[in-house]
Amino acid sequence: MSKPIILCFTILFTFVACNDCTKEEDLVQRENALQLREMQIAEKESEYLSLVSFRDSVRLSMDTLTYRAWPDSIAGKWNSRTICTESNCSDYAVGDQRVNVWIFDQDSTGLNASVLDNRNEIIRTYNAKFTPRGIQLSFRTDSTSTRNVVMNVNFDQIRTDKMSGKRIISLDEKCSALFNIELNRPSQKN
């Protein structure tokens, strides 16, 4: 072969080899950048999972936090107005209204709420649970009762002078009635 052709091949080979070196360096840099990006994403994912876990533990503690005594803003007497809004029981008709006095108190068994009639006699006493999400009251007749009555009250709107929520009554597991219930603090007489 002639020298000029060999020289041309050598120059071409060198140029191609150098070009391959540049491409290889570029590829290595891209791989390194990709690995760095993957590490950053893994760190962010780990941080996100940690925050989700923290949020869930806070929610769980909010759900399990219960008070052992009523705050002053809730303890004591309240006037109630209860209106039946839905019923498939013969004992309750839509539109039925009741007015009672409620007393929020606690004893050695825990929180409770008693309902009084117009003679200031206790009609029933609910077991109570007070959490940051609201007040839940429950009442169930005992096994000696002729009727199986279950009452659940949920006050989800609570202010210092007014509470409102829903009461559901179930009779003998055959029918139920839904009530809107509103409690107001009695006016203070000097």
Please state the domain extents for the chain: 1-64, 76-184
Burial category of 114 from C-beta neighbours within 10 Å (exposed 0-12, middle 13-18, buried 19 and up): middle
pLDDT in tens, 119-149: 999 999 999 998 888 999 999 998 888 989 9
CA pair distance 172, 185, nearest whole angstrom:
33
CA pair distance 34, 28, nearest whole angstrom:
10
Mean pLDDT for the stretch of residues 18-22: 65
Q: Which CATH superfamily is domain 76-184 in?
A: Photosystem II, cytochrome c-550 precursor (2.40.160.30)
For residues 125 and 148, is the Cβ–Cβ distance under 8 A? Answer: no
Residue keyed to tokens 């191609």? 16
Q: Mean pLDDT lowest for which of 45-59, 108-122, 155-169?
A: 45-59
Choice between 29 and 81, residue whose per-residue pLDDT is larger: 81
CA pair distance 63, 58, nearest whole angstrom:
9
